[in-house]
Structure 1
Amino acid sequence: MIDADGVLLWVERRGQGPDVLLVSGLGDPAEVWRSQLDGLADRYRITAFDNRGVGRTPLPEGPLSVPGMADDAAALLRALDVPAAHVTGFSGGSFIAQEMALRHPGLVRSLVLMSTMARPDPYFRAVARFWRWMAERAPGERAMLEAFYLWVYTPRAHADGMVDRLVEETLAFAHPQSVEAFQRQLAAFAGHDTLDRLDRIGVPTLVLSGEVDLVAPPRLGRVVADSIPGAAFEVLPGEAHQPFQEVPDVFNSRVDAFWRAVDAGGPGSG
């Protein structure tokens, strides 16, 4: 546990090299980044953490907000004496990463925004309303996970047993997220809006979208990339919401190339 300006955050760190901060999405503890913690620690010092109300980080009183969670991430870097990091955020974590770059620009060396958007559209808001009551009314945790994972993984992952494995791992996890914490985090992400401020981001940025992502389709990622000066935008063919889990070698190779270009200050750095 790390005291980040009065907030106790569970943190996992691995490796040596340039600093990378990984910011998780809705309901995801640090373990969601296992393939990056394992696969990139030979070249980078990787930091992953549990957001408020997720995993081992307690849920505070009062509403959650994306700016507040961005302040937590910034306080964490300061507590770890990290002057600046390559910040990678996934889904709701990409909302946090956007706010972090806007509120604490000196701490952000570059941005990778996976499965992102600048402002939830009516479809996403409808999905969020569905997820809210699904968490309350699903007949059990397994049923909730099986329904939720329909939205975020490819049919391939359902067919090859990956989703079944993830369901079992989540059910066995010693620190499950409460329904209240899930709903409060979901409400914060549904209220995200940086659309009119993204042009203030001045760090190299890579926006990645899964071609068949139902939750954050490429058209929403394209808006983010078009709004950030110099941002690169790429669509991962055949992938859904969580390519960093489904095709980690592809994801790791792409972000590694981007970070190397940023550190070298050459082409491809945004």
Structure 2
Amino acid sequence: MARKASITGGTKKVKLKPQKSREIIRKYHVLLKKQAQLKKEGNVAGADAVTSELEKLGGLQMYQQASISGQMEARGGDSSKLLMNWLAKYSKEPAAALLEVGCLSFDNYCTRSNYFARIDRLDLNSQDPRIEQIDFMKKPVPPDLYDVVSLSLVVNFVPDSGLRGEMLKRTRKFLKPEGLLFFVLPEPCIYNSRYCNEQSISDIFNALGYRQIEYKRTRKLVYWLLKMEERSGPYPKICKTLVNDGAKRNNFCIALS
């Protein structure tokens, strides 16, 4: 049964409890990875079946509502608060421009801080007319580059390790020299993965010409503030490599090709 539409014509948003939000997000990620693997194997029927499962779960819109619910300020989930705290340490002067990739909510600390003269927000399935609906990998590089790019809980949503690397690589095209990248991943992506740990993610950052200037680990998330440095020549190839074996570990990985 289709969800009811609001009197304004949009889809009525569902209020979700924290536990339900986490359950939806977890199921969506599992199904998305399964779908990507089936497509890679050429199993069209299997991939279509997973698409049906995703639709029954509520599709991308329900996933985003669950993500927004998890980022509600009242639950301490707005990662932009930490970004603003870090930026305050490095400059008393307002930065000119921020690109917020995977922006779920217009009303966050970046918006309310009045720190930026310009904020461009984008998401694959925008639920706000003030957030541009576009794939970051297809967004044209503007003539006016950004001082800061925020990539918070976005790369883990990409189902392929090589595409994750390409997304990180592409952030350099949008930043001014010595620009900053705010990068956030779920804690298990680094500390409970067979193919990723502190050293391997550090190797990725170094290969891309990013220097870590801030880091924070919590029970659920890992945050970095990275400074883009000059680099030349082709990017090195970093393949998927087993670093921590274990039956209960996940398969998250970032690769460069």
Instruction: Give the TM-score taking structure 2 as reference length.
Output: 0.29
- Which has a greater percent of helix? 1
Per chain length, whose mean CA-contact separation is higher, i.e. which structure has more relative contact order (CA < 8 Å, sep 6+)? 1
Rg: which structure is higher? 2
